[in-house]
Structure 1
Amino acid sequence: MKKNTHGFTLIELMIAVVIVGVLVAIAYPSYLSSVRKSNRAEAKAELMSLSQRLQRCYTSYTRFNDETNCAVYKDLKDGGVITPGTGFYKITISHTASSEATTYSLKATAIKSPQTEDTEGGCNELTLEHTGAKAPEECWK
């Protein structure tokens, strides 16, 4: 008598597990890269927004560091930090003492995972100067 069995053999099941494992090993790093890039976009947008607000202060008051009328500078001065949206970055401002009124440099620094692992090309720190210069350039593309 021959029994008619249905189902998978252990070998067929192991082959399926190996195939799924290979697919995950290929797809997961790509997924993480995509997540980091989208989180980086949030930081770039916030840097651009802060820069525009500082430029409006300069247009209105001929200085970036007008503490009375420029709310964004007031928030960032003396080591103040702005943490946009999902909180993956902190944004700070710096400038040289001799040109405090006419220059600035905004820096977004990664503060939590997965952005802290975004070290390829130095993308865990983004900077935007008052001149519009962006660094690192490859991270702004």
Structure 2
Amino acid sequence: MHPPNARRSAGFTLIEVLIAVAIIGILAAIAYPRYTAYVERSRLADGHAGLMQAAGEMERCYTAYYSYKEECLKTKASPERVYTTIKLVEKGLFVVGCGIRPLSWARI
């Protein structure tokens, strides 16, 4: 039996829980912007890889036929499918499109 004036310590106090929540909040506030920047850089790298692949295909086409032809373009999307549209708009001008951003233009 417990003496009537003895105090039981079972669990955490409210202050301890609040401090733990505050620390987790601070860590999340630091980590989230870095994570979103990382995701943005990876999307840009994916679009760049798709454009470089398409540009290489079109240069091989120009080497073979001395003109840029739409049918030579085999790459229709970026490698990770972040950008779902890669197409030749006019000679030497590609367009890359996705559902969340405006179209980006790149000249070769």
Over 4 Å off, 4+ runs: none
Instruction: Note the residue ranges of structure 2 that are not aligned, 5 or more in a row.
Output: none
Q: Which has the larger radius of gyration?
A: 2
AA at the equivalent of 1:127: W
In 2: Cα distance, 1:85 partner to 1:52 partner: 14
Give the fraction of aligned pairs with identical amino acids, expressed as a percent.
32
What is residue 49 of structure 2 aligned with on the other side?
45
Matches within 5 A, 1:22-101: 22-65=26-69, 67=71, 70=72, 72=73, 82-89=76-83, 90-95=85-90
In 2: Cα distance, 1:86 partner to 1:25 partner: 28
Counterpart selection for 2:24 from 20, 37, 52: 20
Partners of 1:58 and 1:64 within 8 A in 2: yes
Partners of 1:105 and 1:129 within 8 A in 2: yes
- Aligned-partner SS, 2:68: coil
In 1: Cα distance, 2:53 partner to 2:69 partner: 16
Partners of 2:49 and 2:78 within 8 A in 1: no
- Aligned length in residues: 103
What is residue 128 of structure 1 aligned with on the other side?
106
- Aligned-partner SS, 2:106: strand
Q: Cα distance 1:2–1:91, how it changes in 2: closer, same or farther (>3 A)?
A: same
Q: Cα distance 1:29–1:20, how it changes in 2: closer, same or farther (>3 A)?
A: same
What RMSD over aligned residues (CA atoms) do the two structures have, in Å?
A: 2.3
